[in-house]
Amino acid sequence: MRRRCYVTRNIDDVIRRLFNLRGEKRRIDCADNLACAPYMKAGLGRDFKTVINDMHYCRELRNQYAHCQWYGTSQDGFAFVNLEEVSKLNTAILPLETHRRPVDAALLQQQETFFKYVQKYFWHITGEYQTRVNGQHRHVWLRPAVVAQPPRHR
């Protein structure tokens, strides 16, 4: 059985377009370009743009940890240095410890909660789109309570 994409009607094309690209930003931008107009037409444009913006924020949160050096001492607590960020400085990089960003379990939990919120919000608007455009029965993903964007680090 061939599966269809609800927005473009061609799941093969969507998978090829999204995963033939390298990098999360390009994929999110590609999804935005493919689906924005249909979501706007369905009256879900604001929700779609909110989800896309929140996905970019999740990407930024993730990327700050992707290429980092971790530190943990009983005196200073848990921290990291974002090596991508540091590499762009015009000043001396060493010692690395001077660029530490504190992070704790509470902040990581707050960030994870936001990631799950964005996922559920995306599922909600996808279901809402299917309901509005394809006349499907009411979907199961209720609109989640809004979760504010957490700080990147403390």
Per-residue pLDDT of the chain (154 residues), as tens digits, is 455 556 766 766 766 776 675 789 999 999 999 999 999 999 999 999 999 999 999 999 999 998 888 988 888 889 999 988 888 888 888 888 899 999 999 999 999 999 999 999 999 999 999 999 988 777 788 999 999 999 998 7
Q: Note the pLDDT of residue 51.
A: 98
pLDDT at 89: 87
Evaluate whether 72 touches 100 at the Cβ level (below 8 Å): no
Q: DSSP H helical segments within the chain, as ranges?
A: 11-19, 24-41, 45-66, 83-87, 105-134
∠ Cα 33 146 25 (to 5°): 30
pTM of the complete model: 0.83
> What is the reported pLDDT for 18?
66
Structure tokens at 24: 């999360």
